[in-house]
Amino acid sequence: MAYVISSDCVSCGSCAGACPVSAIAQGDEHYEIDASSCIECGTCADTCPVGAISQG
């Protein structure tokens, strides 16, 4: 399963810069992961300061 971003996201942008395949972008309410692009490396989850990213 791809990684997902929860509503805990504070839109800092750190995960988007860390993703090797540019699968993360700002969405309507918080940052979002494009599940079809995510290669499940886990880098974003390690980068998020508020623990908003987990494996879906």
Summarize as ranges the residues that interact with ligand SF4 (CB under 6 A): 3, 5, 9-15, 18-19, 21, 23-24, 30-31, 33, 38-44, 47-48, 50, 52-53
Which residue blocks in the chain are alpha helix, DSSP H?
A: 14-18, 43-47
For residue 55, the minimal CB distance to ligand SF4 (Å) is: 8
Beta bridge partners of 5: 53
Amino acid (1-letter code) at residue 16: A
Q: Provide, rounded to whole angstroms, the least separation between the CB of residue 54 and ligand SF4.
A: 10
CB of 56 to ligand SF4, least distance (A): 10
Q: Which helix (H) or strand (E) holds 25?
A: strand 24-26
